[in-house]
Amino acid sequence: MSVTATARVRAVADGRGGTALPVLESDGPLALRRTRAPAPYTGVTVVGAMSAPLGGDRLAVEVEAGDGARLTVGAAAATVALPGPGAAHYDVRLTVGEEAELHWLPEQLISARGSELRMATTVQLAPTARLVLREEQVLGRHGEPTGALTTRLTVRRAGRPLLDQELSYGPGAAGGWDGPAVLGGHRAVGQLLVVRPEFEEKPVASCLLGPTAVLTPLAGPAALVTAVAADARLLRAVLDRALALLLDGSTSPAMS
């Protein structure tokens, strides 16, 4: 039996330099818990209450960081897309207000053999909003081929498009997705998007982050890191290094 569920988070500035959570609403397999986070952020962790998404499920997470809020959202474990009757759908909708900051840092999404998942992440940013968004996909569990996976990331800032891209892997994807021009035999793929108003005055420089990762400035105050790796551990190491460099302002062609 398929499941339809939507979990919701709303964060607001509490007027004392912190962030309150007037809405923390779990639903179905998506359980939300308030957790510790480094100041000045408030933390939320998504805890899977059951195996999901299964084929046929329709899941969604809605997160709003209101004006001035500081919020980081993570996950307790990887998400595993599992086989079932029909495709599963997983929608993530993020909204970040003026002078607010959201770190969306889920664990890896694993596409198990025989699964079919269509995932869409939609982000709306105010002009002065800050965002750190990480996405990681692992194509197949150990020793098995990947399922069918399609992901789309759409980001708008001040009502204007900042990034809109779609990726497809596995059965049914266009030919060449696993060839040398795309994955080149790698099983883990990910991206890191960092949006900061100061990038308007001082854009980051394009550079390589090793042999299979690249940092690219976007047409806006943002930088996108795209990477592939042999496994999830190596992929995370590349993205963590890139995030540290972007947040401390050390990005330059010398990173290559």
> pLDDT tens digits, residue range 160-193?
999 999 999 999 888 778 888 788 889 999 999 9
With b for 16 or more beta-carbon neighbours within 10 A and e for fewer, the 173-198 pattern comes to beeebbeeeebeebbbbbbbbbbbee
Strand ranges inside 106-204, DSSP E: 109-111, 116-125, 130-139, 148-157, 160-169, 188-195
**Averaged pLDDT, 201-211:** 90
* Alpha carbons 192 and 215: distance in angstroms, whole number: 9
The edge-to-edge listing of strands for the beta sheet with 4-13 is: 19-25, 4-13, 58-65, 88-96, 116-125, 148-157, 160-169
Residue 198 phi, psi dihedral angles, 5° rounding: -65, -15
Question: Cα separation of 147 and 131, whole Å?
Answer: 30
133 against 2, higher pLDDT: 133
- CA 227, CA 213: separation in Å to the nearest integer? 4
Q: Residue 238: name the closest of 220, 218, 256, 219 by CA.
A: 256
For residue 253, name the pLDDT band (cuts at 50, 70, 90).
very low
Q: What is the pLDDT of residues 44-87, one digit of tens each?
A: 999 976 667 888 999 999 999 999 999 999 999 999 999 988 89
What pLDDT score does 255 carry?
A: 39
Per-residue model confidence (pLDDT) at position 23: 98
Structure confidence at residue 34 (pLDDT) = 97
Q: Name the pTM for this structure.
A: 0.94
User: Percent of the chain having pLDDT more than 70?
Assistant: 96
The pLDDT of residue 49 = 61
Distance CA 122, CA 28 (A): 21
